[in-house]
Amino acid sequence: MSHRGITSTNFSIADLALAQTGRHQISLAQNEMPGLMAIRAEYAQSQPLAGARISVSLSITVQTAVLVETLVALGARVRLASCNIFSSQDEAAAALVVGSGTSESPAGISVFGWKGESSKEFWWCLDQILDWSNYPDADGNTHPGPTSIIDDGGDLIYLVHQGIEFEKSGVLHRQNSWIESEHEIVRELLAASQSKNPTRFATLVSQVIGASEETTTGIQRLEELSRKGELKFPVINVNDAVTKSKFDNKYGIRHSLVDGLNRATDVLIGGKVAFVAGYGDVGKGCAEALAGQGARVIIGEIDPICALQAAMDGYQVAQLEEVIEQLDFVITATGNIDIVRPEHFLKLKNLAILANVGHFDNEIDMHGLEALEGAQKVQIKPLVDQWTLPNGRSILVLSEGRVMNLGNATGHPSFVMSASFTNQAMAQIELAQNATNLEPRVHLIGKLADEKVARLHLPALGVSLTKLSERQAGYISVPVEGPYKPDQYRY
């Protein structure tokens, strides 16, 4: 496999010359990531990740670079690939490969990914980060694969699981999240792997102590594996830490949705009509951002509780079909499939903007759009396409229906990612210290750890926390030092 960038055995990225600008951005981001920097300080001496080999599939952003260098500062070695073909920042990748000569950033972190991968390249990159055989440690020892995994969306964990199944049966089972062509790419990859080493994945998995998963869609997929009793190792659910999903998913998208719309189109949002499909954590952040810009926001929901929340928050709640002719923006944030379909495209206003922020690219039916007879695409600029439809009208589609806040912009800002990634770092420490006591299922992060992540982010915002007295703690039956809420509390 080759691409237009720079490749060696242990990295494959767009352009090493971007390292300096990437390094400057990483240095600035560190100031906005107090949780991760506190974790570095707390564990610098004890090195809880010494000996860990972590295969990481996250968007290769400046924020991910700060996480990766935190894992290295705690003793781990890392191989990193992107979880999405459009979400890499090439300067962050270059800075990680080149390093800065400090202990957390020695030269030679292995990175495989660049902005604008093909699907085939995406899967090749995931395969590369699972292969540690040419990446000796300081003592010159090599190993077939990782000791743990960080995933965003579940593709890397699924690849490992399907690899074992394929070695046993020669069959690749249908994956709902993958389209047919992707399925074929994975099948070819596993067949090639099997012909080189028929027990590669079985050996590899025997050395994996566990994984941590970043996003809602990934957790849904892994819960399904767990329910079927097929999960081969414990997975820590980072997404459902309160300090992740109630912050990153909501406040993160509140920032990066509008960032993406502005960078892509620069169209005024105020006064326009925006439809947000899904009023979960991400949909709530999208709606607030659009309303904050002065848009009239309409929500689509299938869940009566979320629909009622949207109504009580002051939004109109409607089915897409009922309002489609009025819409200037359609944003999908459901984590579900088939939200915007061909019959919808044809009813949209001229130059309506379509964007998805859910994890996979199946919320907007792009294949249905391509298949509309006479539909024609003109690229306005990278990841902004004008589709002229058979009815003579045009629509603008951002990031080809893939996650647009990372495709058209640079994803969530550092401060909110600090909370998410502090949970990731703590999850990896938990695996290193305690994986043998964890069953192979999906595990939540404990409340005390969650509260710790929040605490680490308070000083930067000038928050002065009220102290709970012994008498008050007794009255509400909680320990003075926390946790302060029962498990069922919903925030």
281 binds, among ligand RBV, ligand NAD, none (CB under 5 to 8 A by kind): ligand NAD
For 4-118, where are the alpha helices, taking DSSP H only?
A: 19-31, 34-43, 62-73, 90-98
Task: Quote the least distance from Cβ 181 to ligand NAD, whole Å.
Answer: 21
Per CB under 6 A, contacts with ligand RBV among 175-214 are 214
61 binds, among ligand RBV, ligand NAD, none (CB under 5 to 8 A by kind): ligand RBV
Nearer to ligand RBV, 204 or 339 (CB): 339
Nearer to ligand RBV, 357 or 389 (CB): 357
Judged by CB under 6 A, the number of residues near ligand RBV is 18
Question: Which residue's structure tokens are 């509260």?
Answer: 451
280 binds, among ligand RBV, ligand NAD, none (CB under 5 to 8 A by kind): ligand NAD
Q: Which of 6, 202, 306, 444 binds ligand NAD (CB under 6 A)?
A: 306
253 binds, among ligand NAD, ligand RBV, none (CB under 5 to 8 A by kind): ligand NAD
214 binds, among ligand NAD, ligand RBV, none (CB under 5 to 8 A by kind): ligand RBV
- β-strands 329-332, 384-388: how paired? unpaired
Q: How many residues does the chain have?
A: 491
Q: By CB under 6 A, which span of 196-204, 330-338, 412-420, 423-431 interacts with ligand RBV? A: 412-420
Say how many C-beta atoms besides its own lie within 10 A of residue 459's C-beta.
Answer: 12
Q: By CB under 6 A, which span of 221-229, 246-254, 453-461, 471-479 interacts with ligand NAD? A: 246-254
Q: Which of 72, 417, 445, 454 binds ligand RBV (CB under 6 A)?
A: 417
Q: By CB under 6 A, which span of 159-167, 283-291, 404-412, 440-448 interacts with ligand RBV? A: 404-412
Task: Quote the least distance from Cβ 29 to ligand NAD, whole Å.
Answer: 16
61 binds ligand RBV, rule: CB under 6 A: yes
The answer to whether 396 and 351 are in contact (CB under 8 A) is yes
* d(C-alpha 9, C-alpha 361), whole Å: 30
Task: Quote the least distance from Cβ 388 to ligand RBV, whole Å.
Answer: 30
The answer to whether 23 and 100 are in contact (CB under 8 A) is yes
Helix axes 155-169, 119-130, angle to 10 degrees: 80
Those residues whose C-beta lies under 8 Å from the C-beta of residue 74, and which sit 6 or more positions away, are 39, 40, 43, 44, 47, 48, 49, 50, 425, 429
Return the structure tokens found at 212: 């941590």
Beta bridge partners of 381: 384
Task: Quote the least distance from Cβ 173 to ligand RBV, whole Å.
Answer: 23
Per CB under 6 A, contacts with ligand NAD among 411-430 are 411-412
214 sits in which H/E element: none
152 binds, among ligand NAD, ligand RBV, none (CB under 5 to 8 A by kind): ligand RBV
For 131-199, where are the alpha helices, taking DSSP H only?
A: 155-169, 180-196
153 binds ligand RBV, rule: CB under 6 A: yes
Longest dimension (CA), the chain: 73
Q: Which of 300, 401, 407, 413 binds ligand NAD (CB under 6 A)?
A: 300
Task: Quote the least distance from Cβ 376 to ligand NAD, whole Å.
Answer: 28
Nearer to ligand NAD, 70 or 215 (CB): 215
* d(C-alpha 194, C-alpha 240), whole Å: 36
* d(C-alpha 411, C-alpha 257), whole Å: 8
SS3 state of residue 75: coil
Nearer to ligand NAD, 204 or 258 (CB): 258
483: left (phi over 0), alpha (psi -120 to 50) or beta: beta
357 binds ligand NAD, rule: CB under 6 A: yes
Tell me which residue of 416, 422, 490, 418 sits closest to 452, measured CA to CA: 422
The answer to whether 163 and 204 are in contact (CB under 8 A) is yes
Binding site for ligand RBV (CB under 6 A): 59, 61, 63-64, 83, 152-153, 214-215, 248, 252, 359, 403, 406, 411-412, 417, 420
